[in-house]
Amino acid sequence: MSKSGKDLGLDRRIPRRDILHGFGATAALAGLGRSSTLLAADQPVAPLDADYYPPALAGLRGNHRGSWEAAHDLALENRQDWGPVQEPEDPYDLVVVGGGISGLSTAYFYLQKRPGSRVLILDNHDDFGGHARRNEFQLDGQTLIGHAGSQAFADPSRWSRETHRLLAELGIEPERFPDYYDSDFYARHGLTFGFFFDEASYGENRYVPLSTPWGHGPVGFRDPQIAPHRAVESFPLAPEARAQLAALYAMEQAEVDHRAAGLSAERLNRMSYLEFARDYLGVDHPEALGVIVPMPEAIETVGFDAQPVRYGSGYGLPVPAAVLQQRPVDSFVRHFPDGIATVSRQLVAQLFPSAVGSSADLHSGSAAVDDLMTARIDYSQLDRPDRTLKLRLNSTAVNVIHDDVPERSRQVLVTYFTNGRAYRARSGQVVLACYNMMIPHLCPTLPQAQRRAMYRLIKSPLVYSNVVLGNWHAVKAQGFGGAYCPGCLHSMAFVDFPTSIGRYRQPDDPDRPIILHLEWAPTNPGMSKADQNEGGHLRITMTPFREIERSVREQLAGLLGPGGFDPANDIAAMTVNRHPHGYAWTPDPVRGWDGEGPEPHLVARQPFHRIAIANSDAGARFTFDTAIDQAYRAVGELFA
């Protein structure tokens, strides 16, 4: 039975509920965080003051209100009139559009080559970092830190020399990640991983622990000591569906290989796991498929209808030996409390030392990372009129054009929109480290082939929600550590990574607050990955916070209710990080690149005279190291 809004706690005030819906967050920051001093003649935006601190905002974050409207006006309505354009500043040597890891890395690499240059970084959000941002919560004297997007460091063996060098210069030592991660936390508290079936979808609320690998999230869960094919017997499904899933989990490798006889590795790599399970492994009951198809959604942003056979092995499902791949078990051990936001914060600390004051000695290696983890960035130091390097937030670029025929140009004119006014910055060079799909709208004189290629780089939408519980006795009583949630809006939920570093300690006492992390990727099974992603953008953007909040409260009430959880009393804060344009474009994992000529990102990232292209989109991989590598390449092209 569905709970009322009052039972769920929708009538309760939780921290900053006045800006939870995202409709006042940016305005609140702009109003409360700006200095009251008059604007200098050469300064389009008043300096931010010490009250400005976006990581502490709860509610609707990510692509928050105020960060996307101007871009949508440009891309969807073809808006060209932005009112009178003011040009109050002296020319820059470099303007970077995009303040994520790629944009920050661009400024870092550029200044290494040309120290003392005048550099302006523009970002449309109220915070830096792009997807690599953090959420902070204060409750009962305790600080809790969660990741707002970029989650974990992928396999270091794939990192370039430039990425390794940059991390070393930032004091980040990948070999220390196992020291930060409490590998015994989940088992010590009896927390398992499994499946959660919600009442609205399955007729009852039931959490079933499952002893099987999973493809996304923390490691070290307690083994429930029951074989997966036996655990499936507790799934609230039709008997035939349970029987098919039990047979699937019990299937020996020899039997899988026998059923796949005649299928080449190439054919298997062009076949979805859904097709393989249905046509070769005997799993065709809709309820059985409804359990396994959504499993990879949270990490891949599509289900097994659009993921190849080999991906099944990472989720504990049988695959033929010809495509069996071993996923590193420590992939998600490489995680800071704020995910990869530490990289963007370390970059800001290097570029703007006064923003961290005496919080960290930036040349003392890992000690700086430890100290900065709990330090508060002083945003008032990011855009000062007396500095040659500026990071200007809440500023959306709307036009980027050479001042003459590109071949004869001496400058690039960058028009941006902030606080309801348009400004222009002149620069000798520009790097566009923003969503590559936006670039044809920003830069209308790009060659047509390059514009067409950029339009193909459709990003994958996703939502990361962080929920703070005042205590986690119900979590421990239920034995819940993480779960696939096939019937829920958020298809995955888990107790946040048990990572401690420096003065920041992961809660180990159930009496203390803790973060639950939930993930949602809107899908439309049966369509290509690109088509599903394109449709998901709109769904995420149009779903109001209130609807997401209700869904989260209902999900947690059903999941943790047997342990004594009360959503009205136990939820202390909630932040929903909305990323309609999330992961970078990659070739379709089943169909591959089916167009003519080179893959689109290779065409899209070509330099355009004084303009170079960065962002992970330009590398067709949604990893932080790709963002860094593309920044390094773009800067190199400017100096070629």
Residues 323 and 469 in one domain: yes
pLDDT of residue 217: 58
Residues 468 and 444 in one domain: no
Pairing assessment for the beta strands 119-122 and 389-392 based on DSSP bridges? parallel
Residues 279 and 198 in one domain: yes
Residue 593 lies in a domain: no
Residue 360 lies in a domain: no
Residues 116 and 34 in one domain: yes
Residues 488 and 548 in one domain: yes
Residue 158 lies in a domain: no
**Longest Cα–Cα distance in the chain:** 76
Question: Distance between CA atoms of 502 and 612, rounded to whole angstroms?
Answer: 38
- For the stretch 553-594, pLDDT in tens is 999 999 999 999 999 999 999 999 999 888 888 888 888 877
pLDDT of residue 333: 81
CATH of the domain at 112: 3.50.50.60
CA distances from 295 to 57, 123, 287 (A): 31, 34, 14
Total structural domains in the chain? 2
- For the stretch 111-159, pLDDT in tens is 999 999 999 999 999 999 999 999 999 998 899 999 999 888 888 888 9
- Global pTM reads 0.92
Question: Distance between CA atoms of 590 and 582, rounded to whole angstroms?
Answer: 20
Query: What residues pair up with 137 in beta bridges, in sequence order?
Result: 144
Residue 150 lies in a domain: no
Q: Which residues contact 614 (CB under 8 A, 6 or more apart)?
A: 98, 102, 103, 105, 106, 431, 432, 433, 627, 630, 631, 633, 634
pLDDT of residue 40: 44
- For the stretch 460-495, pLDDT in tens is 999 999 999 999 999 999 999 999 999 999 999 999
- For the stretch 305-345, pLDDT in tens is 999 999 998 898 999 999 987 655 556 788 899 999 999 99
pLDDT of residue 46: 64
* Contact present, 145 and 427 (Cβ < 8 Å): no
Residues 343 and 471 in one domain: no
Question: Distance between CA atoms of 189 and 171, rounded to whole angstroms?
Answer: 33
- For the stretch 58-88, pLDDT in tens is 999 998 988 889 888 889 889 999 999 999 8
Ranges 186-195, 467-476, 534-543: which has the least confidence? 534-543
Question: Distance between CA atoms of 599 and 601, rounded to whole angstroms?
Answer: 6
Question: Distance between CA atoms of 458 and 258, rounded to whole angstroms?
Answer: 38
Per-residue DSSP letter, 2: P
Residue 409 lies in a domain: yes
Dihedral pair phi/psi, residue 329, rounded to 5°: -70, -15
Per-residue DSSP letter, 489: S
pLDDT confidence of 48, banded at 50, 70, 90? confident
Query: What residues pair up with 339 in beta bridges, in sequence order?
Result: 336
CA distances from 229 to 317, 482, 487, 536 (A): 11, 19, 21, 34
Mean pLDDT, residues 401-422: 95
Q: Is 548's pLDDT higher than 50?
A: yes
Residue 146 lies in a domain: no
- Of 117, 126, 100, 129, nearest to 433 (Cα)? 100
Ranges 223-227, 365-369, 495-499, 627-631: which has the least confidence? 365-369
Q: Which residues contact 303 (CB under 8 A, 6 or more apart)?
A: 274, 293, 294, 295, 296, 297, 523, 525
Residues 440 and 476 in one domain: no
Residue 534 lies in a domain: yes
Residues 90 and 208 in one domain: no
Ranges 194-208, 213-227, 373-387, 552-566: which has the least confidence? 213-227
Give 11-47 as a DSSP string: TS--TTGGGTTSSSHHHHHHHHHB--SPPPTT-SSPP
pLDDT of residue 38: 39
- Residue at token pair 């909305």: 578
**In terms of residue numbers, what domain contains 504?**
184-218+220-328+460-583
Question: Distance between CA atoms of 390 and 383, rounded to whole angstroms?
Answer: 5
Angle at 260 between CA 256 and CA 266, to 5 degrees: 125
- Of 613, 617, 597, nearest to 605 (Cα)? 613
Residue 10 lies in a domain: no
pLDDT of residue 16: 41
